[in-house]
Amino acid sequence: MDIGIGLFGLGTVGSGVVKILQENADQITKRTGSRLSVKHAVVHNLNKERTGFIQNFPITDNATDILNNPDIQIVVEVMGTLDQAYDIIKRALNAKKHVVTANKDLIASRGQELVTIAETNGVDLFFEAAVAGGIPILRTLSTSFTADEISRVAGIINGTSNFILTQMTTNNLAYANALKLAQDMGFAESDPTNDVEGFDAAYKLIILSNFAFGVQPVLGDLAITGIANVTDADIADANAFGYAIKLLGVAQRVGDTKEAISIEVSPQLVPFSHPLATVHNENNAVLVNGESVGEVMLYGPGAGEMPTANSVLSDLTNVATDLALNTPGHPFNSFNQDLDLAKPSQRIARRFIVVEVDDTPGAMYSVTGMFAAAKISFTDLKQTPAANGTARMVALTHPASDAQLNVIKTTIRNADGINLAAEYKLFS
Ligand code: HSE
């Protein structure tokens, strides 16, 4: 069977898709029984030079050239915009074309609506490339964990922030220089705010939560902290205690009977001995804890042209198989259930706390008194030499809840001469 593809976007990922389709055409046909080829591409900028593949298809800037083309069965959307991509995907689905997209923002925010439109029209809507670039995590969750009860999905799911933290840690690069390098290497978003403020990871974690727990959170349901406030001193102190600082996305069942779900993106301390601490630079890793399987970790490139394109190809070949078997129209993820959102008292973890105090007699005594009042107990304590009349106290604690931490934050805010400089969870 010949299957025609229409491509919206010929940037980094789009070019990679064309390259794989052209270079691996025979293997794809051997595996799927179908011949997949690009019939048309629609781009914003017709004047941009495009290299690395044979341009044996027309490139125009008019969406209807693809949407009205009867030779095109699958639309690939890799433009990266939100409203325009929504409009194109919706029109494509209503035109009974299968859709493959890498658009995490769109799927995280309007995915349910698009999934319903796809189902109504009996077509596929796949988006493996939307989460963790080249790591095949969504299809793994939807096919290989069907019978297991997942208790936690956690991972490093933003390559840019992981690259920045790695460069700050291992090469002593300043934050801004590390970010510039990530942008030059092509894996930061065009506006890196979403990468460094945690929103890119949050969109991916929303999609992971759909697949792992069957829940449909919105951005406001997540606790989101990025890496912009992680300091060299925090990294050095965490390292001294035996931990790396990583931006993690963590969705987990919590509560006495695991009745609730906590969904959070934040920089956390990961023990050097943990596999997640060995994930460096733009690489991603997703850890899945299942009641039956135990712990599984998928590791790989979280961004970049060819890895992300490979995930798009995985979707394309799955559509090809559905067409060959006449089975399209089933949702990528059909798991649905209601879980309560975790309360602050249910978000419990050990903590790494940094407090700055006036270097005066009794200051440390009053700090420890505040933590005692909040029933937070220290396991390790370190005070670095005072600078400019201020001492930096770094502590690791026994497990404490966000509710307890909120008490401490309020107490410190109302106290003189004490500042809560940083607070991180410890991941285990
Ligand atoms: N900007 C993303 C990242 C890659 O840094 O992980 C695409 O999801």
Q: Looking at the 3D structure of the chain, how many domains does it have? A: 3
**146 in the same domain as 129:** no
The string of pLDDT tens digits covering residues 284-320 is 999 999 999 999 999 999 988 999 999 999 999 999 9
Ligand 1 centroid from CA 242, angstroms: 28
Q: Residue 95: which H helix or E strand, with range?
A: none
Ligand 1: atom nearest CA of 302 is: 6
Rounded to whole angstroms, the Cα distance separating 312 from 317 reads 9
Quickly tell me which residue has 């943990």 as its tokens: 274
Q: Give the mean pLDDT of 159-169.
A: 95
pTM: 0.96
Q: Residue 297: which H helix or E strand, with range?
A: strand 294-301
Residue 337 domain-assigned (yes or no): no
Quickly tell me which residue has 């406001």 as its tokens: 220
Answer yes or no: are the C-beta atoms of 36 and 322 closer than 8 Å: no
Boundaries of domain holding 202 = 137-301
Answer yes or no: are the C-beta atoms of 251 and 262 closer than 8 Å: yes
Rounded to whole angstroms, the Cα distance separating 97 from 88 reads 11
The pair of structure tokens assigned to 186 is 């092509």
The string of pLDDT tens digits covering residues 28-70 is 999 999 999 999 999 999 999 999 999 999 999 999 999 999 9
Ligand 1: atom nearest CA of 303 is: 4
Q: Give the mean pLDDT of 75-97.
A: 96
**125 in the same domain as 145:** no
The answer to whether residue 426 scores a pLDDT higher than 90 is yes
The rounded Cα 257 to chain-centroid distance in angstroms is 27
> CATH number of the domain that 392 lies in?
3.30.70.260
Ligand 1 centroid from CA 415, angstroms: 40
Query: Could you report how far apart the first and last alpha carbons of the chain are, in Å?
Result: 49
Ligand 1: atom nearest CA of 189 is: 1
| pLDDT at position 162 | 96
Point out the catalytic residue in the list 97, 104, 204, 246.
204
**163 in the same domain as 35:** no
The string of pLDDT tens digits covering residues 394-409 is 999 999 999 999 999 9
Q: What percent of the chain has pLDDT over 70?
A: 100
**148 in the same domain as 269:** yes
Q: What percent of the chain has pLDDT over 90?
A: 90
CA neighbours closer than 13 Å in the CB half-sphere of residue 97: 27
**64 in the same domain as 149:** no
Rounded to whole angstroms, the Cα distance separating 15 from 186 reads 13
Check if 96 is active-site. Answer: no
**124 in the same domain as 227:** no
Residue 334 domain-assigned (yes or no): no
Residue 19 domain-assigned (yes or no): yes
**123 in the same domain as 234:** no
Enumerate the H helices of 229-378 as residue ranges: 232-240, 305-325, 363-373
Answer yes or no: are the C-beta atoms of 313 and 19 closer than 8 Å: no
Rounded to whole angstroms, the Cα distance separating 130 from 105 reads 8
Please give all residues whose beta carbon lies within 6 A of any atom in ligand 1, as ranges: 133, 158-160, 187-189, 195, 200, 302-303
Is the Cα dihedral 360, 362, 365, 367 positive or negative? negative
**116 in the same domain as 261:** no
Rounded to whole angstroms, the Cα distance separating 199 from 359 reads 38
